[in-house]
Amino acid sequence: MPNLPSAKKRMRQNVKRRKRNLVFRTRTRSYIKRARIALDSGDTEAASEAIRDAVSQLDRAASKGVIHRKNASRRKSRLMKRLVELEKTS
């Protein structure tokens, strides 16, 4: 346990931030999962919509600092790559 007042405050802040980050991280993972499921289904229009939502959520998480901006960029790139492949086969 911290003894200094500043360390106690930092501990309280860390608890709040951890809870907030968990919400964003979980929500982002859910949107990515929905996008992957839509891609696997083969429906181009549904996949496009799901990916648009996932990209928006990834950008939001990156702007909040929950995930690194390059991590978000890599995930978006991989989703878009799969969408392009799906559109080529359709």
CATH number of the domain residue 35 falls in? 1.20.58.110
For the stretch 45-61, pLDDT in tens is 999 999 999 999 999 99
Q: How far apart are CA 5 and CA 69, in angstroms?
A: 33
pLDDT digits (tens, 9 = 90+) for 76-86: 999 999 999 99
Question: Which amino acid does the sequence have at 74?
Answer: R
> How high is the pLDDT of residue 38?
96
In the structure encoding, which two tokens stand for residue 43, read together? 């429906």
> CA of 84: how far to CAs of 19, 41, 48, 66, 67, in Å?
36, 14, 10, 28, 25
How many domains are there within the chain? Answer: 1
pLDDT at 1 over 90: no
Domain of 29 in residue numbering reads as 5-89
- What confidence tens digit (pLDDT) does each residue in 9-34 have? 999 999 999 999 999 999 999 999 99
